[in-house]
Amino acid sequence: MNKSEPCGSWQQLQDHECIALFQRGEQDAFAELVRRHQNRVYRFLLRMMGCREEALELTQETMLKAFRVLPGWRPDAAFATWLFRVANNAAMDRLRRKKVVKYVPIEEHMDFPDPAAGPDEELQSAQRYRILEAALRRLQEDYRQVLLLREVEEMSYAEIGDVLGLREGTVKSRIARARQALLEVCKGRI
């Protein structure tokens, strides 16, 4: 593949193939990796940080770190999992420095409801999301982390363990405790 090839041909490659090309000097391969992963990383960071500017800044830091590390990178996990680990570590470092934890509500203009749903279903869905947002804001950050990675980012227990540096069993138990805590919070709200 060379730089004159159309952008669409990059989309056919797997992450590890893009990384190998980048390691051989193909800068466009890294641009493809950024295109694939930046929105998910940003959404995760936005929900963790509660501030668009900080989420953007941390997303850029995450991508910059990937750019610096990838030339000599040897995978011990999938690239996406490793990238989320970098993003999570950056977020946790920033939160520790601030000693403030907030949750950003899911925006109503985000396309979560089924596009075929009628106005009543959309209203009910929006109300459920608001209740869920309020409940998530009340959870401690380690519970919110695992729920976001599992339920929103749809990561496996093993991937979450890789991101957070935890054993798979610990991830499972933390998710169970987080779900229970979320239910307890919701019982008081619903």
Average pLDDT over residues 21-34: 91
> What's the chain's average pLDDT?
82
Contact 151, 47 (CB under 8 A): no
Q: Give the other-Cβ count within 10 Å of 42's Cβ.
A: 19
- 3: confidence class by pLDDT, cuts 50, 70, 90: very low
Query: Minimal CA–CA distance to 145: which of 98, 95, 99, 76?
Result: 95
Instruction: State the DSSP code for 103.
Output: -
What does the pLDDT look like over 156-177, one tens digit per residue? 999 999 999 999 999 999 999 9
Q: Which fold has domain 108-190?
A: Arc Repressor Mutant, subunit A (1.10.10)
Q: Which residue has the higher pLDDT, 110 or 166?
A: 166
Lowest mean pLDDT among 63-67, 112-116, 176-180: 112-116
CATH 1.10.1740.10 applies to domain 9-101: yes
Q: Which residue has the higher pLDDT, 29 or 109?
A: 29
**Residue 132 clears pLDDT 90, i.e. is over it:** no
At 133 the pLDDT is 73
Instruction: State the DSSP code for 149.
Output: I
Q: Which residue has the higher pLDDT, 122 or 63?
A: 63
Residue extents of the structural domains in the chain? 9-101, 108-190
pTM: 0.66
**Residue 51 clears pLDDT 60, i.e. is over it:** yes
At 105 the pLDDT is 59
